[in-house]
Each structure stands twice: as structure tokens, then as C-alpha cells.
Amino acid sequence: MITEEQIDLLVERLISRIEKANTYFLKNIGASIKAIRDLTPSQAQQLVQILKYGGGYEQIVEEISKMTDMNIKDIESIFSAYAKKDQLFYKEFYAYRNKPFIPFEENAVLQSQKKIFTNMIRNEMYNYTRNNVLGYTIRDILPNGKKGRVVFRGLKETYNRVLDEALLNVGQGKETFDSAMSSIMKEIGGSGLKTVEYESGRSVRLDSVVRMHLKGRLAEYHNEAQQIFGEQFEADGVEITVHANPAPDHEYAQGRRFSNEEYQKLQLYGIAKDYKDKTVDLHSVLKSGEITTSFRPISEMNCYHYVYSVILEVGKPRYTDEELQKIIDDNNKGFDFEGEHYTMYEGTQLQRQLERKIREQKDIQVLGKSSNNEGLITSSQRNINMLTQKYKELSDASGLPTKLERLNVNGYRKVKM
């Protein structure tokens, strides 16, 4: 079975390029601010017109397009690597039924399915990286000059808005200029490159969308493929994958085998019996003791458990009941941090929040450096140091593995305080 860690490695290749595109935009914005900073108002006016209409924005768009094209080229190789690893799990079941096992490279059905899904995710990636749906969330300027609510602005709007803000503040002296520009640069750095979701119309960080969509499509691809395999070797049940620190609603389902009939019940009604006659309930129990009426089906709604078709009498589940219970016990045992008790699952959520905040502050520092804004560099680096220390303390207290690759921001270099 392919693991969650292996899937993350496949996905992070694409995410790192999105970070580079975001950094490229931030550095260009910062460089434009730096160029305007030391000019007279009339000189600044001329430069702003050149930057707006003379290629500054077009260079940014061209670079983002390059990153997108590289990601799209990689998608097919990601799906192929995933499918090859995934298929190996089923070999013993084909042998048990005396059915021919056709390797991925020669399997026409799987090749056709892979093509459908790779084209699907390619089209999705084109849709949410189009210039007119990419941008940042920044505060609106009201007619009276005061700042209004945070709104999404496209790349060109954001770029022009920053130039107009710089032009408005030029001629005030370097320190006053830097102080005035810090606010909007913090907003842009904290926002990160975003895209507008087609269905909801809301803006979401582009790296989050790519991660969510690609993982979701891989899950769909796997689920359809495992049904094909199951039909070919006449599977009579399924086995659910396992990962450490599961969400509480799925902790009793993972690692278990279900007959096909019982698994359908689990997905439709949230409650079923595994092949050992143990009742599994996906409905969450709140801290108040109340049981929720809704539930998340397995491998849906941001659940990254995977399901594999099996023959119930062949082999054994990868985990024993004792091993599965130990995962639950270790999760619930949890840890204490800053006067609060957390489960290990809650600890992973805290880690993700801190990772996001650290990346945001690093983006702000990149802006500060490229615009030569010493105050912004100092304040963002101070926040980075504080958040990084908290991340280390959280990881030490919990024993959770760190995901340092999620702290990386292209172009960031630590400065001494």
C-alpha cells in the first residue's frame, strides 16, 4: 500500500513551485517599492506609469505561467508513480484466484483511466492558475481614504494598488515611507498567492487548493482502480489503510476489513460491522457527550484513508487489533502544552497552523528585504524566531515529527537580530 508520507512527497513537488511563483511576485513588488522609495513625486509618477504599462506586471505573469506549465507536465508522472506502487498490493489476490496479473504498463484499462484523471487535474490546474483568478487578499480603500474590509484583488489589481500606495507615500522621507508601506506589505505577505474557487467564488491559498485537489483526485483515481481490481479477482471485501494520529471519527475504522455489503452500509449510514463482527461508527462524539447526526464517509471530505479490495480469507490485515488499539491509545494519551492537554491529532493541527504562520512571516520578510524596509525585516524576523521556537517546543512536548519542508519559503534568508 502507498503511504500518506509517500503521497505527500509526490504532492510537495508541485507545491514548492507555487511557492517560487509567489516569491517571484513578492520580490518584484518589493523591488518596485524600493525603486520608488528614493524618487521625487514627479519621478515616481513616471516610474509607476512605466511599471504599470511597460512590462513589470507581464514579467510576473510570464514567470507564474512557466511554473504552472512545469507542474502540469509533472502531473502524469505523479499519477504513474502512484498507480505502479498502488497495484503491487493486489498481486496475491490475483494469484489466489488464478487470475492473470497485468502490470500497469501493459494494462489498457488502467492506462485509459490514468489518462482521464491526469487530464482532469490538468484542466483544473489551468483553471485555478489563470491570471484573472490569481491574486491576493488586501484591505479595500474607501472613498474617505480609510481602509475597509479585506477583499480579493487580482494580480494586476494588487500590483497596481501597491504602486499607487507607494506613489501616494513618496516624498515623506524614508522612515515615514517604510512605515506607511508596511501595512499593505504585511497584508500581501500574510495572504499568500490565492485563487478564486469556481463554485463558491471565495478565494483560497493556491498551495492549499493544489494540495487538496491533487490528493482528492489521487484518492478518486485509487478508488476507481481498486474497484476494477476487485471485480477482476472477485473481491468479497475491503481493507482501510492506517496512519498515525487519526481524526477521532475515523480512528476505529482504519486498518479494518469489511465485507462489500458492510462497507456499503458504512459509507451510506456511518455504521457497520467489520468482518470480525465488531461495530464501527463514524459518527463523532462531542466533548459534551452528544453524538453527531452527520458523518464523513471514508476517503471523502478531506479524509485521506484509502480503501483496498481484498479477499477476506486471504492473508491478514496489515495491523492486528492490538496494534490498532495502541494507535488509538497513543493518540488519546496526547500531551500537555502551554497549560492545555491535546490529543496527538490535535497536535498535528497545531503544527499545521504554526507552519502556515511561519511561511506567512517569511513571505513578509522577503518583501521587506526586496523593498529595503528595515522595520519590516526586523518585525517579521522577530515573529519568525518566536513562531519557530514555539514550533520546536510543541514538537518536543508532543514527540510529533516535524515537517520542516513545509517551513521552506523560496528566497527567505534568516537575518541576525
Q: What is the pLDDT of residues 131-177, one digit of tens each?
A: 678 889 988 776 666 677 888 988 888 999 899 889 988 877 777 89
- Determine the average pLDDT of the residues in 365-383: 94
* Secondary structure in 3-state letters for 132-173: HHEEEEEEEECCCCCEEEEEEEEHHHHHHHHHHHHHHHCCCC
Residues in Cβ contact with 377 at an 8 Å cutoff, skipping those fewer than 6 apart? 365, 368, 369, 415
- Determine the average pLDDT of the residues in 99-123: 86
Confidence band, pLDDT 50/70/90 cuts, at residue 406: confident
Planar angle of CA 46, 26, 384, nearest 5 degrees: 135
In percent, the amount of the chain with pLDDT more than 90 equals 42
Burial class (CB in 10 A: 0-12, 13-18, 19+), 357: middle
Q: What is the pTM of this model?
A: 0.84
Contact predicate 271/249, CB 8 Å: no
Confidence band, pLDDT 50/70/90 cuts, at residue 221: confident
Helical (H) or strand (E) element with 374: helix 374-398
Q: What pLDDT does 198 receive? A: 66
Residue 379 and residue 156: Cα distance in Å, rounded?
A: 28
Q: What pLDDT does 385 receive? A: 96
C-alpha atoms less than 13 angstroms from C-alpha of 147 in its C-beta half-sphere: 10
Alpha-carbon distances of 287 from 90, 102, 326, rounded to whole Å: 40, 49, 22
Looking at residue 225, its amino acid is A
Residue 155 and residue 135: Cα distance in Å, rounded?
A: 4
Between 115 and 254, the more confident residue is: 254
Q: What is the DSSP string of 384-402?
A: HHHHHHHHHHHHHHH-PPP
- Determine the average pLDDT of the residues in 319-323: 94
Give me 86's grid cell.
498502488
Residue spans of alpha helices (H) in 233-320: 260-269
Alpha-carbon distances of 90 from 1, 227, 228, 318, rounded to whole Å: 9, 11, 11, 13
Between 388 and 84, the more confident residue is: 388
Q: What pLDDT does 226 receive? A: 87
Planar angle of CA 258, 261, 263, nearest 5 degrees: 45
Q: What pLDDT does 297 receive? A: 93
Q: What pLDDT does 264 receive? A: 95
Alpha-carbon distances of 331 from 242, 299, 319, 325, rounded to whole Å: 13, 20, 16, 10
Confidence band, pLDDT 50/70/90 cuts, at residue 59: confident
